Structure 1
Amino acid sequence: EPGLPLRGRHCGVAGKAAACSASIPYGCGGDDSPPERKIYMDYNATTPLEPAVIQAVEEAMQDAWGNPSKLPLLACGRKAKDIINAARENVAKMIGAKPRDIVFTSGGTESNNLVIHSAMKTFHENEASGGGAVEHPSPVEGATPHFVTSTVEHDSISLPLQHLAKEQVAAVTFVPVSKVSGQVEVDDVLAAVRPTTCLVTIMLANNETGIIMPVPEISQRIAALNQKRAASGLPRVLRHTDAAQALGKRRVDVEDLGVDFLTIVGHKFYGPRIGALYVRGLGELTPLYPMLFGGGQERNFRPGTENTPMIAGLGKAAELVTANCEAYEAHMRDAEFGKKRIHLNNRFPGAERLPNTCNVSIRGPQLPGRLVLAQCRTLLASVEATCHSDLGDQPSPVLLSCGVPFAVAKNALCLSVGRSTTRAEVELAVQDLKQAVGPAGGPGLVPGGAAHGSPPPAVWLLLVSSRHGVAW
C-alpha cells in the first residue's frame, strides 16, 4: 500500500550520510538505530520506490528475464515483451498520450539530450532538402540552428546547449524569468524566436521554486507562428517541456500542453531511475533521431536490450500516478509549512506552483544554508537543485534569476515534501531549524555567534513557497 514505511535505505543529504527512522514513511535510513528520527524533505531531488513498484521490479526480474527483442520470441521473452507493452500503455495514460509515442530511455538527461539532438538533425535535414531555402533577410539555408530556452532549466538542457554554442554549431537564446512572476514571459519567448529557430524548450515546473511555467500558452503561440512559417517556407519550431518535477504532483496532459516532446523521469514520482520520452506522432509528425546505433530496439529510436524490470517499475509508478494524482497533490499541499509560520508579501502574485515545494532562507549574516543544515538534528534537505550541487557556497543561479538578493539566496534551503509527509513532521522540521540557528546572542552557527542584541534570525522567512507568492 502507498505510504508504508521503507526500511534499510541510505542516502547522503547536505554532504553527510544520514539514517532515517523506520517510523518515518519513506525514510532513507540505515541499519543502526539513529538517536533521533530523521525527516526527509528533499523529494524534488529523488523519491523512494513505492512498495508496489518494488514488487513489479522483483517480479519482472524473477519471471520476465527473457530477451523481449530476440526473434523468434521464446516464452520468457514474450512475457518480458508483454510487460514492456503494458508499461508503455501506463506511461502513456499518465500523460494522456498514445502508447506508440512513448520511448523508454535511461533517464531525464538522455531524454533531454535526445530532444536537442533530434532538433539539430531535423534542422539540417530541412536545410538539405531545401525546406529552409526561402527569401528572407536571414535565410535558413547554410545557417546555424537556433534554440530558445530559459535561464532556470535543468543542466541536462542548459549545458548541452551551452556546449553547442561554444562549438559554434548552434545559437542559443536564454530567456530570463520575470522577477515579478518567477516565470518566463510568453511574449519574451516568442520574441526570441528567429527564422533559424528549431526548438523551444521550457521546463514545466522548476525544481527549486516550484513555479509552473506557462507552457500551454507558449505552445499555442508557437503553433500559430508555425502556420505563418509554413506559408513562408520556413520549417516549424519544435516544442519541448521537461516535466520531471510536475509528474506525480499535478495532472499532466500532453494535449493540454500542446508540446511535441515531453521528458519523463521515473525517480521523481516514486519509480526507478530510468525515464521515457513522449514524441507527438513519433517518426511521422515529429521526427526523432537516435543518438545510439545497435540492435534496433525501441523501433530503432533507442537501441539496446530493454531493461525489463526497470520498465516494469516505471509502468507501475505511472499507474499509481494516474489512479491517485489528485490525492497525492491534496496531501502534499496540506503538509506545507503552515501559513502562521511564514511571512508572505505576494512577491510572485498569481504564479501557480507545485504543491510540495518550499524554498526558505534564514535571515542574518553568516547563516548559509549548508551550515544551517549541518546543525540540523532531524531535517534532511538540500540547499539547491541536485544539478547545481557543485556550486559550493555560491547561491543558486535559479534564485538569482528570480530576483532573490545574493545575500538572501546564499542562505537558501530547498524543502520539498512527499506523499507521506505529515504536518507533525513539518512541525518537527521547523523546530529543528529553530534549534539549528540558536537564539540571538547565543553561540549560533559560527564562532562568536550573532551580534549581541541583534534580533533573532527569521526562521519562517519564505522565499519561494506560498501558493500565491514569494517573500523575503
Structure 2
Amino acid sequence: MGKTIEIRVGTFDNNFSIDCPTLHDNLISFGKMPILYVTMVYHVFASRSRMASKSDDITLVMGRTFTDHDLHHIPDMNVDRIYMDYNATTPLEPEVVQAVSDALRDAWGNPSSNYVAGATAKSIISQSRQSVARMVGGKSEDIVFTSGGTEANNLVLHTALEHFKKSCRAAEQSEGPTNGCPGLPHIVTTNVEHDSIKLTAEHFLADGKADVTFVPVSKVTARVDVEDIIAAIRPNTCLISVMLANNETGVIMPVQEICQRVDLLNKQPERLRILLHTDAAQALGKISVEVQELGVDYLTIVGHKFYGPRIGALYVNGPGRRTPLYPMLFGGGQERNFRPGIKLYLEERLQDVFRDRIRFNSHYPGSDVLPNTCNVSILGPALQGWRVLSTCRRLLASVGAACHSASGNRASHILLNCGVPSEVAANAVRLSVGRETARADVDAVVEDLRETVQLLEKTN
C-alpha cells in the first residue's frame, strides 16, 4: 500500500524542505521552477525505504507528470555534485545575499514616501541603478528594473509596435514623410533567439499585429551575417533584435556592426526610425559589454546569469527622450574574477578521453564564443543528452536553454539552425563553467562522463 509524501518547494530557487524521513537524503532536483509553492505527491510502498522506481507515478498538483528525463539526477544524491550549468543560472554571491537580507530588514518601506524605511529603500534603489548602469557604460536614468529578462524583452517588442503606430499617426497629421507606414510594423530578428523574443514575435505574427523576419544564422559560423540583416530591412521595419551571445553555442553576434549599418539608414530623412535591441543576458559577466560601443537603443540585463538575484533590467538610451519606452502594465504609481581558461581545459580533457567520438557544437570558424560555454555531443545511438545527464553521478548540467528542458529528447532547434545534424544535436550537452569551477572539477566531470558512456553502451 502506498503513502503520500508532500514536498514543498521554496520561492524561486532550488531550496526546499522535505517533511518525510522516508526519502532520507534523496533529494529531487526540480531545476528552476518559476512558482511560489508546489506540492508533489509521491507514491512509495511502505515496505521500502529507498526511492520508488522510475515507473511509479510522480505528479504535480498543477497537472504535470514527470518522465524519466525530468527526474534528473535522482540516483546517488549523496554524491558531491559538480555544477556546470552556469548559463542557466548562477549561485548568489555572499555579498548579494547579505545585501538582499539587509534590504528586506531595513528597506521594506515605500520608496516614494519620506519616512525612514521608505527613504532607505529609495537610496538603495538609486545606488543599485547606478551600479547596473556602470556595468554597461550607461547612465543611472537609463536603467529600468524588470522582473526578469523575459519582461525586458517583451517590453522592447511592445514598445517597437507602439512607437511605429504613434510615429505613423504623427507623420500623417503633420503631412510629413510616411514612407513605411502603410501596412504592419516589421520586426527583424534571428532564428536562434531566446524564446522570450522568438515566441513573442511569433505571437505578433500569428495575431496579425506585425510582420516578422527570422534571419537564419550561418550553418558554418553559427553567426548571423550583417548583410543578411540589412537585406531583411523594409520601409516599415521598426525593430531589429539580435542577441549579443547565444545561450547554447556561446557564439558572439556582430551586434556592433549591425548597429553601425542601421545608424546610417536612420539618418535618412525619409524613413521611420529603426530601433535597435540586443539581449545581453549571456554576455554580461563573461565579456566586456559597453552600450555606447555597441550603439544599441535597448539592452537586456538578467541578474541571475551573473551571480545576482532573479531580477532583470533594461538599458534604454535616454528613456522617453532619445528612445521611446511604452509601459505594458498600468497601476500605481565585466569579467570579474572569471576564469576562461577552465573551458579550454575542459575541452582538452574531453578530446583526450573521447577522441573522434566527440563533437563540439560551440566551435565555428570565424566566430568568437563566450569564454565559459562548451556545447558538446558524444556520438553514439544510446547517448542522447538527457539520457547521459540522467545517468551521470556527479555532473549537474543541462541539454540547453532552461525554456527548452520540457522538450525531452528532441534536438535543440538552435543547434539545428546552426547546421548541427539532428543525430548529433540530440546528443548535445551544454557545459557552462563559472567562478567556482576548478580543474579538479573538470577532471571529475570528464571521468563521470566516461563512466556514464560505458554504462549506457553496455546496457543498451
- Larger mean CA deviation between 179-188 and 9-18 belongs to 9-18
CA separation in 1, counterparts of 2:121 and 2:458?
57
- 1:245-265 Cα deviation digits (max 9, x unpaired): 011111110011110000000
Q: Does residue 12 in structure 1 map to residue 37 in structure 2?
A: no
- Count how many residue pairs are aligned between Structure 1 and Structure 2: 392
Q: Report the counterpart of residue 338 of structure 1 in structure 2.
A: 348
- 1:126-160 Cα deviation digits (max 9, x unpaired): 11111697778xx4234200000000000000001
CA contact (8 A) 2:244 2:280 kept: yes
CA separation in 2, counterparts of 1:283 and 1:239?
15
Q: Report the counterpart of residue 349 of structure 1 in structure 2.
A: 365
> Could you tell me which amino acid in structure 2 is paired with residue 41 of structure 1?
M
> What is the aligned counterpart of 2:286 among 232, 249, 253?
249
CA separation in 2, counterparts of 1:131 and 1:254?
33
Secondary structure of the structure 1 residue equivalent to 2:299: strand
CA separation in 1, counterparts of 2:15 and 2:216?
43
CA separation in 2, counterparts of 1:57 and 1:156?
27
CA-based RMSD: 2.4
- 1:271-298 Cα deviation digits (max 9, x unpaired): 11110000001110001000111123xx
Q: Report the counterpart of residue 378 of structure 1 in structure 2.
A: 394
CA separation in 2, counterparts of 1:355 and 1:336?
11
CA separation in 2, counterparts of 1:34 and 1:406?
32
> Could you tell me which amino acid in structure 2 is paired with residue 327 of structure 1?
N
CA separation in 1, counterparts of 2:130 and 2:421?
46
Q: Which runs of 5+ in 2 are unaligned?
A: 1-13, 17-26, 32-68
Secondary structure of the structure 1 residue equivalent to 2:406: coil
> Could you tell me which amino acid in structure 2 is paired with residue 61 of structure 1?
L
CA separation in 2, counterparts of 1:446 and 1:165?
48
CA contact (8 A) 1:144 1:171 kept: yes
Deviation at 1:35, TM superposition (A): 3.4
* Percent of matched pairs sharing the same residue: 52
CA contact (8 A) 1:363 1:408 kept: yes
Indicate how the Cα distance of structure 1 residues 76 and 436 shifts in structure 2: closer, same or farther if over 3 A, else same. same
Indicate how the Cα distance of structure 1 residues 332 and 353 shifts in structure 2: closer, same or farther if over 3 A, else same. same
Q: Report the counterpart of residue 402 of structure 1 in structure 2.
A: 418
CA separation in 2, counterparts of 1:376 and 1:19?
10
Q: How does 1:53-452 map to 2 (within 5 A)?
A: 53-70=96-113, 73-130=114-171, 139-228=179-268, 231-232=269-270, 234-296=271-333, 321=334, 325-330=335-340, 332-333=342-343, 336-338=346-348, 340-341=351-352, 348-438=364-454, 444-445=456-457, 447=459, 449=460
CA separation in 2, counterparts of 1:275 and 1:258?
21
Q: Which runs of 5+ in 1 are unaligned?
A: 1-6, 21-32, 297-320, 450-472
Q: Report the counterpart of residue 44 of structure 1 in structure 2.
A: 87
CA separation in 1, counterparts of 2:177 and 2:206?
29
> Could you tell me which amino acid in structure 2 is paired with residue 265 of structure 1?
V
Deviation at 1:18, TM superposition (A): 5.2
Q: Report the counterpart of residue 5 of structure 2 in structure 1.
A: none
Deviation at 1:327, TM superposition (A): 2.9
Deviation at 1:270, TM superposition (A): 0.7
State the TM-score, normalized to the length of structure 2. 0.80
Secondary structure of the structure 2 residue equivalent to 1:89: helix
CA contact (8 A) 1:180 1:349 kept: yes
Q: Report the counterpart of residue 306 of structure 1 in structure 2.
A: none
CA separation in 2, counterparts of 1:191 and 1:436?
47
- Larger mean CA deviation between 123-132 and 274-283 belongs to 123-132
Indicate how the Cα distance of structure 1 residues 326 and 79 shifts in structure 2: closer, same or farther if over 3 A, else same. closer
CA contact (8 A) 2:73 2:390 kept: no
Deviation at 1:423, TM superposition (A): 1.1
Deviation at 1:333, TM superposition (A): 4.5
Indicate how the Cα distance of structure 1 residues 394 and 446 shifts in structure 2: closer, same or farther if over 3 A, else same. farther
> Could you tell me which amino acid in structure 2 is paired with residue 200 of structure 1?
I
> Could you tell me which amino acid in structure 2 is paired with residue 356 of structure 1?
N
Secondary structure of the structure 1 residue equivalent to 2:300: strand
CA separation in 1, counterparts of 2:104 and 2:166?
41
Deviation at 1:16, TM superposition (A): 3.0
CA separation in 1, counterparts of 2:177 and 2:275?
22
CA separation in 2, counterparts of 1:131 and 1:255?
33
CA contact (8 A) 1:375 1:436 kept: yes
CA separation in 2, counterparts of 1:85 and 1:182?
39
Q: Report the counterpart of residue 22 of structure 2 in structure 1.
A: none
Secondary structure of the structure 2 residue equivalent to 1:240: strand
Q: Report the counterpart of residue 39 of structure 2 in structure 1.
A: none
Indicate how the Cα distance of structure 1 residues 335 and 85 shifts in structure 2: closer, same or farther if over 3 A, else same. farther
CA contact (8 A) 2:255 2:294 kept: yes
Secondary structure of the structure 2 residue equivalent to 1:16: coil
> Could you tell me which amino acid in structure 2 is paired with residue 420 of structure 1?
E
- 1:19-72 Cα deviation digits (max 9, x unpaired): 99xxxxxxxxxxxx94321111111111111111000000011111111023xx
State the TM-score, normalized to the length of structure 1. 0.78
CA separation in 1, counterparts of 2:430 and 2:275?
32
CA contact (8 A) 1:336 1:417 kept: no
Deviation at 1:12, TM superposition (A): 3.1
CA separation in 2, counterparts of 1:394 and 1:405?
12
CA contact (8 A) 2:262 2:274 kept: yes
CA separation in 1, counterparts of 2:146 and 2:345?
33
